[in-house]
Chain A
Amino acid sequence: MGPLTPFSDIDVPAPQPDATYRVRLLHRDFAFTGLKALLGAADHPKAGDRLAGLAARDEVEREAARTALSSLTVQHLFDRPLTDADGRVDDVMRANYQIDAAAFADIAPLTLGALKDLLLKARPAEVRRIGLGLTGVMAAALAKIMDVHELVLVAKKAKRSATARTLVGATGTLSSRLQPNHPTDDLSCVTALVYTGLSMGAGDALIGLNPAVDTLENVSAILAHLDRLRRQTGAPTQICVLAHIKTQLAALAAGAPVEIMFQSLAGTERTLTQEFDVTIALLDEAYAAMAAGGPLGPDCQFMYFETGQGSELTYAKHDGIDMATCEALCYGLARRYDPFMVNNVTGFIGPETHRDNFEMIVSNLQDHFMGKLLGLPMGMAPCYTLHSEITMEGQQVATGLLAAAGANFFMEVYLSTDRMLAYFDTSGHDDQTLREIHGLKPAPDFLAWALARGIFTEEDGEVVRGPNWGDPRLFCANEIEFERLARTVPGAHGFENAGPRPADTVSRAVKANLAIAREAIHADLDPARLGGIAFRRIASRAHDRAAHLSHPDIGADLDAADLAHLRPEHRDVQIVVSDGLSAEAIHANVPDLVPVLLEGLERSGARLGVPVLVPFGRVKVAEPIGDALGARVVVTLIGERPGGDARASRSMSAYLAFRIADEETRARAAAFSGNPAIRYEYSVISNIYDGGLPPVEAAGVIIEKVLQILAHKAAGNRLESLLATRAA
C-alpha cells in the first residue's frame, strides 16, 4: 500500500454557475436548473429524494431529465463540481477528483449516453480502466440512465477483488461478513454466532462486530476475543470491531489486533464531520497508522468502509444532492484508501429514504454498480426495517440480482435478525443458497479450511455442503458447551437446516415474529384499549401513518390548530402517550402503567396535568407540549421500533424530558452539555414490556426518576452525575 496523494495536490475545477438543461418530450417542455436538480430528477423515484424535493414529479419528467443527462459530456460533469450549501467544493468532492487522468482523457469528450454504450460493449479490463477515470458524480449519472440489466451487466464486468490476510472477491466466489452482534456485547453469544456462521461457510470476508459500547476497553476486549476465536478455529479470515475510527486508533496504539480499520462514510463533508465526527485528515491518519503498524502488515489492503443511500438526507446535510449521487461521492472518497472492503447497507435507515422493495432493490443495484465501476471491492447488505414496506422477499430478489452482478460478499446475520441494531440483513443461509444457485464458492483459502473440516466437500469436482455444514457443535468441545453458548443467543429459533435453508420450523418462527412485529407498527392506536384513562387528544403534524413513517420530523410537531388551544398550566409533570412506532406497545403497557404512575406521583406530592394522547407522535413532541403547557417534566410514553421478536414488539420507552426554565439551570446544563442553546434534558427508561421491564415495575422506576429530576432540576447524564456525586 503506497502513501496517500497529498490532499492539496488534487486539482478540482472552480465551481460554475448553475446551467439550465432544457428538454422537450412530445408537447411538454422541461427545464432543470443545475446539475443537482438534473441528477435528482433523473433517478428512479425514492422516498428520500421525494422528501428532499429532488425527485421528478412523474415518469415523463424523469425521462426528460435522463435525456438531458445522457447528452452531457463527461467533461461537462468534470467541469462542474457540486458545491455545498455555502457554494464551496467540500473535501469529499475534492477527494472524488483523485482520478486516473489518462483514463479520463480518453472518455472526456464522450456524452454520458455514449459512455454507457461503451461500457456495455467493452471487455471487463477496459471497463475497470475507464472506471478509474470517473468521479462519483459521473458514476451516479451513469447509474441513472441505466436499466436493471445494464446495472447488473456492467457491474459484473467491473468485478474487483482485494487482499488482506486472504483474497476476497475473486471471480467465481461469493463471500460473507459474519456479524455476531449482541445488545450488550455478551462474548458467549458472540462465540455462539461466530461458530454458527463459520459452520455455514460464512465469515470468509470478515468477522466484524458492531459494538454496543464504543469504549477503548470494550473494543479491545472484543478484538482480543475475536482474535482468539479466529486462532482457535483456524479460519482464514480477518477480524474487525466496527467502533468509531478514533476508538480503533486508540486500540491499535494499545496493541489490540486491529486487523481491519473501519469507518462509515458520508457523501458530504458536513455529514462526515458534524455527524460522523470524521475528517479526511483523520482518515488519512488512520490509513498511515495501519500502514505503519497494522498487524497484517503494509502490503495488504486494510481499510473497510460502510455506506448507504440516505444518511446525508436524514441529517438534512445533503446539500441539495440526491441520495444516489451522495452515495457515489462516498465511493469516490473510499477509493482514495484502496480499501479491502466497502459494504453498502442501503435500506438500513427506514421508509424516509426507501419506502418499498422497488426503491431498495434499485438503489442496491445502483450502489453496487457505482462502487464497482469506481474501483471498489463492493459487498452488499440489502436490508430493511419493519417500519418500511420492504420485505424479506424483496431483499431476496435484491440479493439474487446482486449475486448475478458479482457482489463480493453479503452479510451473515444469523436468521437475518440483527440482535442489536433491530434491522434485517442477509443470513448465512442466504449466502449459501446464492452460492448454490449461482455456482459460486467461498474465498479460496477459506474453502480449503472448510473442506478440511467437513463444512464443504467435493463431489464429482463440485463443491457441495459437507456433513458438518450448519452445525456449530463442530467447534464445541461437547454438547454442554454448545448449550451454554446457545442459551445466550436472543432470537435463536433453532439450529436445524433443510439443505442451505433453515428448517421450516425455524423459518416459520422467524416469519411469525416478523409478522407480529410489523403488525405492531401498522396497528391503529385505539383509545378503547388504554384502560379507561381520561386523555385529552392532541394531533401531531403527521395526520396519517404514511406521513408519520416517511417524515420522521413532523411527528415531533403539534398540529397548529391543536397547539393554539393549549394554555400554560404550570404543572410539575405532564404525561404524554404516543404510538410512535408500535401502537401495540401502548395497548400492552399503558393500562397497567399509567394508573400506577398517576397515583404514585400524586401521592408523592407532584401536580399533574391531564394526560395527553398524541397519535403519530415522535419523542421530541414532548417539547412543544412542555413549552405550551409550561410543565416542568414531560413523561412521554412511546412505542419503540420493533425488531425481530414478537414479544419485544410490545416494547415501550419512557422519555423523561426536563424543561429548563430558568437561567441558572440553563447555565449549568449548558456547561455540562457544551450546548449553549440547550432547552431540555432527557432521561430514558426503555425496554418496557412483559419480557423486559414489566409495565407495573416500570411505573415505580419512572416515579422515582421523575422525583429525582424535580428535586435536582436536572435530567440525563447531568442528573446521574449529581446523584453519583451525592452518593459518594
Chain B
Amino acid sequence: MVNAGAAGDEVMLVGFDFGSTTSSAMAARARIALNCATGRQEFQSPRVVYRSEPVFTPFRAAGDIDICHVERHMERWLAEGGIAPEAVFSGGAIVTGLASEGANAEALAKLVEARLGDAIIATARDPALESWLAFMGSCAGLSRALPTRAILNLDIGGGTTNAALGEAGEVIATGCHFIGARHLRFAPGTYRLAFVSRRARAVLDHLGIAAREGDALAPAEVAAVTGFLVRALEALAEGDAAFFQAEPARLLVDVPLALPGGADPAVTFSGGVGELVYAARAGADLPPVTAFGDLGIDLACAILASPRLCRDLDLVPEHGGRATVCGLTLHATEVSGATLHLADTVPLPLRDLPILACLPPDADPARLGEAVALVARTRAGGCIRIAGGAGLGSAAAVKVLGARIAEALAARPPDGARPLVLLLADNAAKTLGLYATDFGRAPAPLLVIDEVPDRPAQFVRVGKARGGLVPISFYGLN
C-alpha cells in the first residue's frame, strides 16, 4: 500500500503498552478532517511514524514493576520516536495482564501521565478496555472488510487472553481470562519450572501434575497443560460458559465473555502468542520451545492443532503482537464534532471525569436533576451521556432537553471547579448548549460535546480543543 501522507495539518498520537511479557510504544501522525462519506470528523490517513522494538517488561524480584527501568525505556522511546510530550495530541498508556497485578501498576500509570502531560490517558487494570483495544488494533479493518461476519479476537499475551467479539468494525462483547504464556515460566530451552502462578498451580493440580519450581515437566505433562488451555480457548470461541463455571477454569475468569446465542464467530489471534500462530501458519520456523522462558511457543503449536481455533486462520489481522499498543495509538481517542458548546470558564483538558449517568434525550426532569446533582459530589466534574438515535433530531427535542438541563443547573449550580460535561451522540451541541444556558443569559460551567459514539465506560477524558473540536478518550470499560 502506498502510505497516504496527509496533505494538511497533522496531529501526533501515541500509545504505550506495558504487558505481562513485553512493553512497547508506538507513535503515529494523522490529519483530523471530515470524512465526506460518513459526515463525521475523524483521524484520516494515519501514518505510524515510530514503532519501538518490544522489550521485556522489567519486573523486580518482589513481582512488581521496576518503575525506574520502565522510565529509562520511556525516555529512549521518546527520543527514538522524536516524541515531544507537548506535541502529543492524544494517546494512551495501559498496564495490562500480570503487569497490572503488580502492586505499583497504578504508580506506573501515574508516572506516564506525569511524563507525557495531559494529552493521554493512563490506566491499569482495565481488562475490558484492553480487549477492546486489541480488537480495534488488530481486527478493525478486517471486521469492516467483512461486515457480515462476526469475529472473535483472542489477544493472548503472557498473563491474559483478552477476548473481544466484533462486527462491522464495532466491538459488541469483551472478556478477559487468565490464559497466557507466563503463568508457567521455565529455564529457557528447558521445561524446568522457574515459576508457577497461583492459577497455573490450580490447573496443574487439576491435571494431577505435582511438579514444583525446579522440577522439569515431562512432554506429556506439557501437552496436558497446553491441551487444557486450548480447551479453554475453544470454550471462549464456542460460548461454552459452563466450562468456566467448573474448577479450575473458574479461576481463569477475570471478565466473563458473553457471546450472543448461536454465535459462531471466526477466530483471530493477536498478542505475542497470536503472532507465533500466524508466523507458523505462514511457514516460518518457530523458535525452540521455551526459548522465551515460557509456554508461548507450545501454546501456539497447540492452537495450530485445534480444528476450531484454526478454522479461520486465513483471516489475518493486523499488527499481531502490537495490537494493543496500536489500538491505543490509533483507536483509543474519538474526535468530537466541530460545533460544540465550550464554556470559556472551563479550562481543558479535563481528565478522570466519571460518567454519572446515561440518559435518553427525553429523560424526565427528575432523573436529569439527580444526575446533575451528582456533579457536586465529584472531585473535578462529571459527565452525563445522552444516548444516540434520532432523539435530538428536531428543534422541539433539543429545546425541551435544553430547558430541562437549564432547570437542573439552576437548581444545583455546579461550581467552576466541577464542570458538567454532556456527551451527545447526535450533532446538536452548540444549540443544546445555547438552550441550556438560556442563550448566554444563564452562564454555567457546562461543556456540550457532540458526535461522540456511545461507549460503555466509567471514565472519560476531554482533551484540549483544536480547530473547534476536542479529543475524547474513554476508559474503565464495563
B257 vs chain A, min Cβ distance (A):
24
Question: Is B411 in contact with chain A by the CB < 8 A criterion?
Answer: no
Chain A residues near B441 (CB, 8 Å)? 603
Question: Is A222 in contact with chain B by the CB < 8 A criterion?
Answer: yes
B395 vs chain A, min Cβ distance (A):
4
Q: Is B34 a contact partner of A184 (Cβ separation < 8 A)?
A: yes
Nearest-neighbor residue (CB-CB) of B429 within chain A: A697
For window 421-463 of B, CB contacts with A under 8 Å fall at 426-434, 438-441, 450
Measured between alpha carbons, how far is A695 from B429 in the docked complex, in Å? 12
For window 6-34 of B, CB contacts with A under 8 Å fall at 6-8, 33-34
Contact of B141 (CB < 8 Å), options: A483, A490, A603 = A483
Task: Mark interface residues in A681-705 (1 if CB within 8 Å of B CB, else 0).
Answer: 0000000001111111101110110
Contact of A696 (CB < 8 Å), options: B8, B145, B146, B431 = B431
Task: Mark interface residues in A589-624 (1 if CB within 8 Å of B CB, else 0).
Answer: 000110110001001100000000000000000000
Measured between alpha carbons, how far is A213 from B33 in the docked complex, in Å? 13
Name, among A228, A488, A489, the residue most crowded by chain B CB atoms within 10 Å (CB to CB): A488
For window 217-246 of B, CB contacts with A under 8 Å fall at none
Name, among A483, A595, A695, the residue most crowded by chain B CB atoms within 10 Å (CB to CB): A483
Chain B residues near A484 (CB, 8 Å)? 141, 144-145
Q: Is B318 a contact partner of A188 (Cβ separation < 8 A)?
A: no
Which of A152-160, A246-254, A474-482, A654-662 lines the interface with chain B?
A474-482
Which of B35-43, B125-133, B378-386 lines the interface with chain A?
B35-43
Measured between alpha carbons, how far is A479 from B317 in the docked complex, in Å? 11
Question: Is B184 in contact with chain A by the CB < 8 A criterion?
Answer: no
Q: Is A703 a contact partner of B434 (Cβ separation < 8 A)?
A: yes
Contact of A700 (CB < 8 Å), options: B5, B38, B39, B434 = B434
Q: Is B318 a contact partner of A187 (Cβ separation < 8 A)?
A: no
Contact of A487 (CB < 8 Å), options: B4, B37, B427, B433 = B37
Count of interface residues, chain A, beta-carbon cutoff 8 Å: 56
Q: Is A604 a contact partner of B440 (Cβ separation < 8 A)?
A: yes
Nearest-neighbor residue (CB-CB) of A419 within chain B: B36
Q: Is B394 a contact partner of A592 (Cβ separation < 8 A)?
A: yes
Measured between alpha carbons, how far is A183 from B37 in the docked complex, in Å? 10
Contact of B37 (CB < 8 Å), options: A489, A703, A704 = A489
Q: Is B44 a contact partner of A696 (Cβ separation < 8 A)?
A: no
Nearest-neighbor residue (CB-CB) of A491 within chain B: B37
Chain A residues near B44 (CB, 8 Å)? 186, 188, 488
Q: Is B5 a contact partner of A697 (Cβ separation < 8 A)?
A: no
Measured between alpha carbons, how far is A224 from B4 in the docked complex, in Å? 10
Chain B residues near A478 (CB, 8 Å)? 316
Chain B residues near A697 (CB, 8 Å)? 339, 427-431, 450
Q: Is B8 a contact partner of A218 (Cβ separation < 8 A)?
A: yes
Question: Is A524 in contact with chain B by the CB < 8 A criterion?
Answer: no
Nearest-neighbor residue (CB-CB) of A479 within chain B: B145
For window 209-243 of A, CB contacts with B under 8 Å fall at 213, 217-218, 221-222, 224-225, 228-229, 232
Measured between alpha carbons, how far is A191 from B441 in the docked complex, in Å? 49
Chain A residues near B142 (CB, 8 Å)? 479-480
Measured between alpha carbons, how far is A312 from B433 in the docked complex, in Å? 48
Measured between alpha carbons, how far is A691 from B213 in the docked complex, in Å? 63
Question: Is B282 in contact with chain A by the CB < 8 A criterion?
Answer: no
Contact of B2 (CB < 8 Å), options: A184, A228, A489 = A228
B413 vs chain A, min Cβ distance (A):
20
Nearest-neighbor residue (CB-CB) of A695 within chain B: B395
Q: Is B394 a contact partner of A224 (Cβ separation < 8 A)?
A: no
Q: Is A229 a contact partner of B36 (Cβ separation < 8 A)?
A: no
Name, among A476, A484, A697, the residue most crowded by chain B CB atoms within 10 Å (CB to CB): A697
Q: Is B33 a contact partner of A186 (Cβ separation < 8 A)?
A: yes
Q: Is B7 a contact partner of A221 (Cβ separation < 8 A)?
A: yes
Query: A-side binding surface: helix, strand, loop or mixed?
Result: helix
Q: Is A600 a contact partner of B39 (Cβ separation < 8 A)?
A: no
Chain A residues near B339 (CB, 8 Å)? 693, 697, 700-701
Q: Is A483 a contact partner of B45 (Cβ separation < 8 A)?
A: no
Chain A residues near B145 (CB, 8 Å)? 479-480, 482-484
Q: Is A691 a contact partner of B7 (Cβ separation < 8 A)?
A: no
Question: Is B399 in contact with chain A by the CB < 8 A criterion?
Answer: yes
Measured between alpha carbons, how far is A174 from B1 in the docked complex, in Å? 29
Measured between alpha carbons, how far is A691 from B39 in the docked complex, in Å? 6
B166 vs chain A, min Cβ distance (A):
14
Question: Is B470 in contact with chain A by the CB < 8 A criterion?
Answer: no
Q: Is A480 a contact partner of B141 (Cβ separation < 8 A)?
A: yes
Chain A residues near B203 (CB, 8 Å)? none
User: If A487-B144, A596-B399, A697-B429 touch, does A191 touch B4 (CB 8 Å cutoff)?
Assistant: yes
Contact of A187 (CB < 8 Å), options: B45, B395, B428 = B45
Measured between alpha carbons, how far is A547 from B220 in the docked complex, in Å? 90
Measured between alpha carbons, how far is A420 from B439 in the docked complex, in Å? 36
Question: Is B189 in contact with chain A by the CB < 8 A criterion?
Answer: no
Q: Is A188 a contact partner of B4 (Cβ separation < 8 A)?
A: yes
Measured between alpha carbons, how far is A595 from B5 in the docked complex, in Å? 44
Measured between alpha carbons, how far is A491 from B36 in the docked complex, in Å? 9
Q: Is B431 a contact partner of A699 (Cβ separation < 8 A)?
A: yes
For window 389-419 of B, CB contacts with A under 8 Å fall at 392-395, 398-399
A418 vs chain B, min Cβ distance (A):
12
Q: Is B1 a contact partner of A481 (Cβ separation < 8 A)?
A: yes
Contact of B430 (CB < 8 Å), options: A492, A690, A704 = A704
Contact of B7 (CB < 8 Å), options: A225, A600, A703 = A225
Question: Is A182 in contact with chain B by the CB < 8 A criterion?
Answer: yes
Nearest-neighbor residue (CB-CB) of A218 within chain B: B7
Chain B residues near A559 (CB, 8 Å)? none
Q: Is A693 a contact partner of B427 (Cβ separation < 8 A)?
A: yes
Question: Is A471 in contact with chain B by the CB < 8 A criterion?
Answer: no
A577 vs chain B, min Cβ distance (A):
16
Contact of A600 (CB < 8 Å), options: B8, B392, B428, B434 = B434
Measured between alpha carbons, how far is A491 from B37 in the docked complex, in Å? 7
Measured between alpha carbons, how far is A700 from B144 in the docked complex, in Å? 35
Chain B residues near A627 (CB, 8 Å)? none
User: If A228-B2, A480-B142, A696-B395 touch, does A186 touch B36 (CB 8 Å cutoff)?
Assistant: yes
A588 vs chain B, min Cβ distance (A):
12
Measured between alpha carbons, how far is A488 from B45 in the docked complex, in Å? 10
Chain B residues near A479 (CB, 8 Å)? 142, 145-146
Measured between alpha carbons, how far is A217 from B439 in the docked complex, in Å? 40
Name, among A188, A224, A480, the residue most crowded by chain B CB atoms within 10 Å (CB to CB): A480
Chain A residues near B393 (CB, 8 Å)? 690, 694, 696
Task: Mark interface residues in A394-419 (1 if CB within 8 Å of B CB, else 0).
Answer: 00000000000000000000000001
B147 vs chain A, min Cβ distance (A):
9
Q: Is B36 a contact partner of A600 (Cβ separation < 8 A)?
A: no
Contact of B33 (CB < 8 Å), options: A184, A476, A483, A696 = A184
Task: Mark interface residues in A170-184 (1 if CB within 8 Å of B CB, else 0).
Answer: 000000000000111
A532 vs chain B, min Cβ distance (A):
13
Q: Is B45 a contact partner of A186 (Cβ separation < 8 A)?
A: yes
Measured between alpha carbons, how far is A700 from B337 in the docked complex, in Å? 14
For window 549-570 of A, CB contacts with B under 8 Å fall at none
Q: Is A490 a contact partner of B37 (Cβ separation < 8 A)?
A: yes
Question: Is A389 in contact with chain B by the CB < 8 A criterion?
Answer: no
Q: Is B1 a contact partner of A603 (Cβ separation < 8 A)?
A: no
Question: Is A185 in contact with chain B by the CB < 8 A criterion?
Answer: yes
Measured between alpha carbons, how far is A484 from B143 in the docked complex, in Å? 11
Q: Is A600 a contact partner of B4 (Cβ separation < 8 A)?
A: no
Measured between alpha carbons, how far is A604 from B341 in the docked complex, in Å? 16
Q: Is A595 a contact partner of B395 (Cβ separation < 8 A)?
A: yes
List, sorted by A's number, 6 A–B pairs whose CB atoms are closer than 8 Å. A187-B45, A232-B2, A480-B318, A487-B37, A697-B450, A701-B339
- For the complex of A and B, list the 3 residue pairs with the smallest distance between their C-beta atoms, beginning with the closest: A700-B431, A700-B430, A483-B145
Q: What residues of chain A have their CB less than 8 Å away from a CB belonging to chain B?
A: 182-191, 213, 217-218, 221-222, 224-225, 228-229, 232, 419, 476-484, 487-492, 592-593, 595-596, 600, 603-604, 690-697, 699-701, 703-704
Q: What residues of chain B have their CB less than 8 Å away from a CB belonging to chain A?
A: 1-8, 33-39, 44-45, 141-142, 144-146, 316, 318, 339, 341, 392-395, 398-399, 426-434, 438-441, 450
Extra contacts besides A492-B37, A592-B394 (7): CB < 8 Å = A183-B36, A225-B5, A228-B5, A488-B35, A596-B399, A691-B39, A697-B428
